[in-house]
């Protein structure tokens, strides 16, 4: 096996936007230039476009559902894949309109990078702000702003700078640390994969170079040990008679054989006896590995419990405050309403104690007089759970800081929350 | 210490997480096994997810009766080696019972009938979760699938009303009679699967490697000759060095000219090919949205 396979990392990024801002063209170009579109897929798109009397429409590659193809819009999150020798990429391609905020939030929840597209002619519009605000709320670690259609503004450095300044002014209010600006033309290919001859004033990376090299190794939390127990492995056979392994995925920190650990909720102390990975015993485990941990002592520990470091504990509380994005099209979040809540591997019930405010996702304005959170709205609410959660602030850890709310009648996922 | 794992190990960790989630959230899961490389990968990952315990769910094979003989042999050996439990759902039985009617004519395929046999087997076993090896890169309707995909009491998929999936929180709550399809390898591409199978040195059926067999051509696709397919007079059978990129029912699985005899050679071939692996599947070509249509009815 060659080295570049064994060293290649996985990067997830999200895009959002409408038909006109060139998003599909850009994705089409990334896929096409990395040779990830196959001939038969391309032929099928050509045939389907002809049937509709259109020029070749690359959006038909990602818009796979009948209703999306009929209406010419992206309704759902579409996942696309491409890879280069350095990295494998997963694109979560989401629609950009207000009525699809929930899809944008979904796509953003696992992304390392948010790709924000701006039409150089129009500059920053409502949709740009919304996408940036959602990226910041969902704590996507890196933001890359592509100022597109540079060919239509004569590759003007002045125009590029103007938009960059405007964006930076607005982004100062947001919680984003790493922002990058790139002048591109998705249609002509400028600075997408190849360096443009038309933007000699720009000495930054191309989009592809950026995606291949942005530092994502520290996107996980490697400081605070959090191991939510997912499943208990008990083989009950002669060879492994007393085996009791706690299976789960590392949610934070690094853990070694011999480490002192504390078990939650019991508060008992123990030591890591063994760590089993997919390839057998390993000495250390860290996110995002799935492992099985064996402890030196025989305590009662089951799904929903957590292994942490003795001197570094999460919040242990039945009261949490979250920023919630509401998904339910039947009814708004109900004050005093009861929901099921999923947090790491734990499921409990909760009651909505208070809706503090609704957030205007175009302006960041907090409307404290408005406590109706409808589908696609984002707001701050206070919850009380039936049993304590072991949580961290979402800013500190996206895994131990996130929850979903489930309607007890329909079983649908009706809300996604980020713990404050 | 460099805290970084490569993309194959990250995909592996994700898939193992999903499988353990299924074992935790469902009463009676089953793993759909077709004998193809994706379901072989699934079994391999399930073995790792629960080691040293046995895989905590049986394998379900929906047998169209039109399988490549190599597939059945490989399936039985794998089950034996892992000590897994195998359940076979039979399309022939469904035809004999009158649950379904066999298609007629030269393009007749039992692929569509699999849905009825699958749903029957799921109902009979009272399974509340069926794990499948479908991947999002395979087909545009599958690109919209969730990891945990809800099915109503008729086994139908409602693509416009899917539960959102965020972070690694998977909602498997369901009412009696409903079930879930779960796709742990959603994020793998064909190339990832092959690179991983190579890295892990997983044994594979001989059909995937180049071999000489009698074939004939139909609408630009090479099909393996067999008694299950009715041929037109103009369709001549000839010997060709071929391999399967996917393995399904013999009536609808195209074979591709190839000289790739090892996994490394297959990876080389895939890295340079310009046709998707389902490009040889005539069942996908029946209409522009034929996969979506079949999935809505309960196809996997």
User: pLDDT (tens digit, 9 = 90+) per residue, B44-72?
Assistant: 999 999 999 999 999 999 887 777 778 88
- State the residue for tokens 């207000």: A98
Is the distance from CB of A144 to CB of A192 less than 8 angstroms? no
Chain B contact present for A109, CB below 8 A? yes
Is the distance from CB of B254 to CB of B225 less than 8 angstroms? no
- Range in A75-89, A315-329, A394-408 with the lowest mean pLDDT: A75-89
- Interface confidence, given as ipTM, is 0.92
Closest CA to B86 of B117, B57, B123: B57
Mean of per-residue pLDDT scores for chain A? 89
Any idea which fold A3-213 has?
Answer: Rossmann fold (3.40.50)
Which residues belong to CATH 2.40.30.10 in chain A? 226-309, 315-419
The yes-or-no verdict on residue B212 having pLDDT over 80 is: yes
> Do A254 and B189 make contact, defined as CB atoms within 8 angstroms?
no
**Facing A404 at nearest CB: one of B21, B137, B166:** B166
Any idea which fold B7-192+288-297 has?
Answer: Rossmann fold (3.40.50)
Task: Provide φ and ψ at A87, rounded to 5°.
Answer: -145, 155
The yes-or-no verdict on residue A144 having pLDDT over 60 is: yes
Average pLDDT over residues B188-194: 91
Closest CA to A15 of A126, A133, A148, A111: A111
Q: What pLDDT, on a 0 to 100 scale, did the predictor assign at position A56?
A: 66
Order of strands across the sheet with B29-32?
A: B86-90, B59-63, B29-32, B129-131, B179-182, B148-151
Q: What pLDDT, on a 0 to 100 scale, did the predictor assign at position A353?
A: 97
**Facing B171 at nearest CB: one of A69, A236, A406:** A406
- State the residue for tokens 């030196």: A296
Which residues belong to CATH 3.40.50.620 in chain B? 7-192+288-297
Q: What pLDDT, on a 0 to 100 scale, did the predictor assign at position A1?
A: 42
Residue B233: Cβ-neighbour burial (10 angstroms; 0-12, 13-18, 19+)? exposed
> Do A67 and B160 make contact, defined as CB atoms within 8 angstroms?
yes
Q: Which tokens sit at B288?
A: 């522009």
A-B interface: how many C-beta pairs under 8 angstroms? 182
Give the pLDDT confidence of B136-157 residue by residue, as tens digits: 988 777 888 899 999 888 878 8
The yes-or-no verdict on residue A221 having pLDDT over 80 is: yes
The percent of residues above 70 in pLDDT, for chain A, comes to 91
Give the pLDDT confidence of A342-355 residue by residue, as tens digits: 999 999 999 999 99
- Pick A371 or A224 by higher pLDDT: A224
The percent of residues above 90 in pLDDT, for chain A, comes to 64
Q: What is the DSSP string of A347-405?
A: EEEEEEEEEEEEE-TTT--EETT-----TT-EEEEEEEEEEEEEE--TTT-TTTTEEEE
Average pLDDT over residues B280-285: 57
Length of chain A: 420
The yes-or-no verdict on residue A5 having pLDDT over 60 is: no
The answer to whether the predicted template modeling score (pTM) of the entire model surpasses 0.95 is no
List C-alpha distances in Å: A154 to A16, A85, A119, A124, B22: 25, 33, 13, 18, 55
Give the pLDDT confidence of A152-190 residue by residue, as tens digits: 999 999 999 999 999 999 899 888 889 999 999 988 889
Closest CA to A26 of A116, A103, A106: A116
- Pick B28 or B236 by higher pLDDT: B28
The yes-or-no verdict on residue A380 having pLDDT over 90 is: yes
Q: What pLDDT, on a 0 to 100 scale, did the predictor assign at position B257?
A: 87
Is the distance from CB of A413 to CB of A404 less than 8 angstroms? yes
Residue B275: pLDDT band (50, 70, 90) is low
The yes-or-no verdict on residue A232 having pLDDT over 90 is: yes
The yes-or-no verdict on residue B73 having pLDDT over 70 is: yes
The yes-or-no verdict on residue A326 having pLDDT over 70 is: yes
Cα A298 from Cα A164, distance rounded (Å): 58
Any idea which fold A315-419 has?
Answer: Elongation Factor Tu (Ef-tu); domain 3 (2.40.30)
Give the pLDDT confidence of A47-103 residue by residue, as tens digits: 777 777 766 666 666 666 666 655 555 567 888 888 888 899 999 988 777 777 888
The yes-or-no verdict on residue B193 having pLDDT over 70 is: yes
For B235, which DSSP code? -
- Pick A285 or B108 by higher pLDDT: A285
Q: Min CA distance, A287 vs chain B (Å)?
A: 8
- Pick A409 or B217 by higher pLDDT: A409
From chain A, the residues in CB contact with B54 under 8 A are 235
Q: Which tokens sit at B97?
A: 């019972």
Is the distance from CB of A116 to CB of A178 less than 8 angstroms? no
Q: What pLDDT, on a 0 to 100 scale, did the predictor assign at position A3?
A: 46
Q: What pLDDT, on a 0 to 100 scale, did the predictor assign at position A2?
A: 45
Q: Which CATH superfamily is domain A226-309 in?
A: Translation factors (2.40.30.10)
**Facing B144 at nearest CB: one of A41, A64, A278:** A64
CA dihedral B167, B168, B174, B179 (to 10 degrees): 120
- Pick B4 or A323 by higher pLDDT: A323
The yes-or-no verdict on residue B1 having pLDDT over 50 is: yes
Cα A336 from Cα A316, distance rounded (Å): 22
Chain B contact present for A71, CB below 8 A? no
List C-alpha distances in Å: A170 to A155, A396, B258: 23, 24, 56
Q: Min CA distance, A279 vs chain B (Å)?
A: 8
Which residues belong to CATH 3.40.50.300 in chain A? 3-213
Question: A84: how many CB neighbours lie within 10 A of its CB?
Answer: 18
Mean of per-residue pLDDT scores for chain B? 84
């Amino acid at each position: 096996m060659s080295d570049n396979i064994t060293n290649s990392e996985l990067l997830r990024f999200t895009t959002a936007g409408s038909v006109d801002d060139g998003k599909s063209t850009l994705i089409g170009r990334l896929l096409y230039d990395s040779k990830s579109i196959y001939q038969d897929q391309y032929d099928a798109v050509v045939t389907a476009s002809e049937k509709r009397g259109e020029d070749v429409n690359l959006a038909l590659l990602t818009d796979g559902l009948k209703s999306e193809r009929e209406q010419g819009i992206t309704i759902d999150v579409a996942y696309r894949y491409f890879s280069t020798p350095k990295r494998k990429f997963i694109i979560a391609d989401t629609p950009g309109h207000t009525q699809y905020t929930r899809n944008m939030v979904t796509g953003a929840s696992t992304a390392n990078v948010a790709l924000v597209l701006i039409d150089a002619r129009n500059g920053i519009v409502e949709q740009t702000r919304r996408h940036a605000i959602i990226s910041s709320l969902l704590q996507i670690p890196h933001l890359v702003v592509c100022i597109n259609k540079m060919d239509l503004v004569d590759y003007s450095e002045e125009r590029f700078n103007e938009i960059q300044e405007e964006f930076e002014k607005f982004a100062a209010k947001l919680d984003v640390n790493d922002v990058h600006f790139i002048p591109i033309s998705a249609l002509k290919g400028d600075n997408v994969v190849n360096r443009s001859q038309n933007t000699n004033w720009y000495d930054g990376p191309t989009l592809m170079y950026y995606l291949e090299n942005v530092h994502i190794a520290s996107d996980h939390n490697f400081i605070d040990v959090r191991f939510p127990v997912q499943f208990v492995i008990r083989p009950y056979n002669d060879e492994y008679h007393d085996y009791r392994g706690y299976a789960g995925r590392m949610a934070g920190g690094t853990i070694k054989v011999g480490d002192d650990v504390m078990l939650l909720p019991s508060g008992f102390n123990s030591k890591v006896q063994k760590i089993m990975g997919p390839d057998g015993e390993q000495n250390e485990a860290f996110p995002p590995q799935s492992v099985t941990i064996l402890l030196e002592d025989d305590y009662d520990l089951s799904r929903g419990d957590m292994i942490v470091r003795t001197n570094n504990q999460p919040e242990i509380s039945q009261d949490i405050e979250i920023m919630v994005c509401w998904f339910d099209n039947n009814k708004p979040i109900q004050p005093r309403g009861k929901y099921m809540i999923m947090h790491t591997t734990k499921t409990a019930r909760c009651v909505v104690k208070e809706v503090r405010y609704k957030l205007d996702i175009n302006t960041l304005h907090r409307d404290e007089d408005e406590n109706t959170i409808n589908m696609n709205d984002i707001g701050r609410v206070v919850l009380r759970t039936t049993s304590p959660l072991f949580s961290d602030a979402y800013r500190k850890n996206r895994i131990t800081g996130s929850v979903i709310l489930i309607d007890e009648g329909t079983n649908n996922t009706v809300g996604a929350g980020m713990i404050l | 210490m460099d805290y970084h794992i490569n993309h194959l190990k990250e995909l592996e960790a994700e898939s193992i997480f999903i499988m353990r989630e299924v074992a935790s959230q469902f009463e009676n899961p089953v793993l759909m096994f077709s004998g193809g490389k994706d379901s072989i990968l699934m079994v391999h990952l399930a073995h790792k997810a629960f080691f040293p315990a046995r895989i905590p769910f049986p394998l379900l094979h929906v047998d169209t009766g039109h399988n490549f003989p190599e597939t059945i042999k490989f399936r039985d050996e794998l089950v034996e080696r892992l000590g897994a439990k195998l359940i076979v759902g039979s399309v022939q039985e469904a035809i004999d019972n009158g649950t379904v009617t066999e298609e007629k004519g030269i393009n007749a395929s039992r692929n569509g009938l699999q849905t009825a046999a699958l749903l029957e087997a799921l109902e009979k076993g009272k399974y509340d979760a069926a794990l499948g090896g479908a991947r999002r890169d395979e087909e545009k309707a599958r690109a919209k699938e969730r990891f945990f995909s809800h099915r109503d009491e008729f086994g139908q998929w409602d693509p416009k009303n899917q539960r959102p999936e965020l972070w690694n929180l998977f909602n498997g709550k369901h009412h009696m009679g409903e079930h879930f399809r779960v796709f742990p390898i959603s994020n793998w591409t064909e190339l990832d699967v092959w690179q991983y199978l190579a890295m892990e040195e997983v044994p594979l059926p001989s059909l995937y490697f180049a071999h000489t067999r009698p074939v004939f051509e139909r609408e630009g696709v090479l099909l393996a000759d067999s008694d299950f397919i009715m041929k037109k007079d103009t369709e001549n059978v000839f010997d060709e060095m071929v391999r399967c990129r996917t393995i399904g029912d013999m009536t609808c699985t195209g074979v591709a000219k190839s000289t790739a005899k090892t996994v490394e050679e297959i990876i080389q071939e895939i890295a340079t090919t310009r046709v998707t692996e389902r490009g040889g599947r005539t069942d996908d070509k029946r209409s522009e949205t034929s996969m979506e249509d079949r999935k809505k009815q309960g196809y996997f």
